[in-house]
Structure 1
Amino acid sequence: MSDAKEFNVGDRVRVIALPAYVKTAEPMPMLRPPNVIQLGEEGVVLDRRPGGFWGVRFAKGAFLMDSQYIEAVSN
């Protein structure tokens, strides 16, 4: 996928669209309803995961986000 966004660990990102569900960024990931995060909520990139996913820490926990659902927060 050529339009995948790249982020660095520690970057602040904002949710620009909600997926049908979110997956927790834990050793044993669980699916959660998308309402655990809010549209426009900001988080911090923790790591890069296989398949174009990013581990992102939000207020209610760390979740795996596809790059199409997040954007970098400009300072």
Structure 2
Amino acid sequence: MSEPAASACPVGASVVLSEQQPYLKTADAMPMLRPGDLVSAGEEGEVISLLPKDQRGVRFRRGSFVVPLTALQEIGSD
């Protein structure tokens, strides 16, 4: 695995969902799948946890979901 991905989007970072997801997995103790239209592309959220396989737990307006790092863009990153 590459090291830059591990430091991308740390906990507390503001992020934008760059691409619509077909479905979303909740970032709860008992996760479940939810429809992808709960969070639209371009919606802002905050990283709340770092997860295996380059995924992040992100809190959006309509809940907290597990999102792949490739679908996130950090706000203010240069």
Task: Give the TM-score normalised by the residue count of structure 1.
Answer: 0.90
Cα distance in 2 for partners of 1:59, 1:19 equals 16
User: How far off is 1:20 after superposition?
Assistant: 1.6
| 1:34 pairs with one of 33, 36, 55 | 36
User: How far off is 1:50 after superposition?
Assistant: 1.4
Runs of 4+ in 1 over 3 A off after TM superposition: 1-5
Cα distance in 2 for partners of 1:59, 1:35 equals 12
User: How far off is 1:12 after superposition?
Assistant: 0.2
Task: Give the TM-score normalised by the residue count of structure 2.
Answer: 0.86
Task: Indicate the percent of aligned positions where both proteins have the same amino acid.
Answer: 37
Aligned residues between the structures: 75
- Structure 2: any 5+ residue segments left out of the alignment? none
- Structure 1: any 5+ residue segments left out of the alignment? none
Tell me the equivalent position of 2:55: 53
